[in-house]
Amino acid sequence: MSETDELKIKISSISDDYSISWNHSLGTGVSGPVRQCTEISTGQKFAVKCIPDSAKARREVHIHWLCRSHPNIVDMKDVYCNKIKFPEEKEHKSRLLVVLELMEGGELFDQISKQRNFTEKKAAHYLLQICQAVFHCHTSNIAHRDLKPENLLLSDKTNDAVLKLSDFGFAKFDDGNLQTPYFTPYYVAPQVLEAHIQNRLIRKDPGAASNNKPCFYDKSCDMWSIGVILYIMLCGYPPFYSETPSNHLSSKMRKKILSGDYEFPEDDWRNISKSAKDIISRLLHIDPSQRMTIDELIIHPWLLNPSDKKLNSPVVLADKESLEDINLAHGGELMVMRLNSTKLCLKPISTANNPIIKKRQRRSSVEEPLGSEEPPLKSPSYLSKDS
Ligand SMILES: Nc1ncnc2c1ncn2[C@@H]1O[C@H](COP(=O)(O)OP(=O)(O)OP(=O)(O)O)[C@@H](O)[C@H]1O
């Protein structure tokens, strides 16, 4: 991590340097679609993430910038602050345009679902790359706090593709006492949930605060998420499974997570090596102080010497609907958290400009041109003159 290399947010127009394909969406998150762009001087292709300018957005960009120079973290090339008006908007708004390394291989689980011969060895190869990214963050005292499949991207579509971590929207310098409950169902660590429950109690009855032990969560949340991701890579479904997928955690699932109540169903786990199960049990430990750290995980024997056992997870992950339900649940929870934290009100569904709903609509209608509700092709006209 280079501390001398300071992030400079450019205020010149991005269209001087890049041509953005506004209708070429590479993927959609809570902050909207990530598009492809081309550097005018070199013809090189990149991804561009467009986020409303705010202190939080600047923090995201700053932390990502600090972590970027690692082979398993998506590189950041440029950041612009421009005034942009989308067609449905009345006025120009300040937005950060973050130019990122283009990850042409897409999301990890999409790629796994296409692999005919997916083995423990390949799963370990991916896990090691996740570990290297997280090790880089944790040794810099940064907790990512949003480790999930959608944020694990592959450099290209070949077998040798490099896996990289992206999206530092919830990352934070970890002082060991992070009290804001940022979480996503299925990947949420027990102490994060506890913090959330405590905060809700406190909101209902401020006097109760004094009776509650201080709630905290830290880098161990990332370790919990790695445990969930490994579990899914090996069998294709999450350890904490809700029978009725929703954007919110059911109280049943919350209880399961808090008590560490998960299993290795015999039918699916019979052929999976003991050593891999050992990692999962030590990562999904409910007590964060007992949970494996990244330093311990990175030297675990399974990672160094995995077996060649074939896995059935690609078949399970190929069920797009359940994969999408898991992904939508994450996005939905993040959205709720953002709405809570900024104290905004929910709009009626008919008028809501909800990227999660848009994402589902887009996926269910293959004929619909990508980004039809996004700005049309002539993007520079949406950049204000003073951008
Ligand atoms: N550099 C990139 N190259 C290719 N695709 C990308 C890149 N960055 C992001 N994407 C795609 O866009 C999607 C959304 O990106 P990202 O997670 O950064 O947005 P977000 O709005 O912060 O999302 P969320 O917080 O909901 O995860 C990713 O899941 C991925 O499919």
pLDDT score recorded for residue 174: 61
Give the CA distances from residue 106 to residues 91, 114, 199, 247, 380, in Å, rounded to whole numbers and listed in that order: 33, 12, 36, 23, 27
pLDDT score recorded for residue 347: 37
ipTM, two decimals, is 0.96
Active site residues per annotation: 146
Tens of pLDDT along 135-184?
Answer: 999 998 898 988 988 999 999 999 899 999 999 998 887 655 544 445 45
- Quick check: CB of 169 below 6 Å from ligand 1? yes
Ligand 1: which residue has its CA nearest to atom 19? 29
- Quick check: CB of 105 below 6 Å from ligand 1? no
- Quick check: CB of 333 below 6 Å from ligand 1? no
Give the CA distances from residue 13 to residues 67, 75, 215, 235, 386, in Å, rounded to whole numbers and listed in that order: 26, 21, 44, 47, 8
Q: Which residues of the chain have pLDDT under 50?
A: 2-3, 178-181, 183, 206-216, 330-354, 356-357, 364-387
**Helical spans, DSSP H, in 343-380:** 355-364
Residue with structure tokens 């450099």?
A: 155
Record the tokens describing residue 259, joined without a space: 């008590």
Contact status, residue 251 vs residue 339, Cβ threshold 8 Å: no
To test the ligand 1 pocket, which listed residue (34, 51, 187, 336) has its Cβ within 8 A of the most ligand atoms? 34
Contact status, residue 128 vs residue 303, Cβ threshold 8 Å: yes
pLDDT score recorded for residue 319: 81
Contact status, residue 79 vs residue 66, Cβ threshold 8 Å: no
Contact status, residue 95 vs residue 83, Cβ threshold 8 Å: yes
* Residue 28 CA, ligand 1 centroid: distance in Å: 6
Record the tokens describing residue 292, joined without a space: 């494996």
Ligand 1: which residue has its CA nearest to atom 15? 29
Q: How many CA atoms lie within 13 A of 26 on its CB side?
A: 26
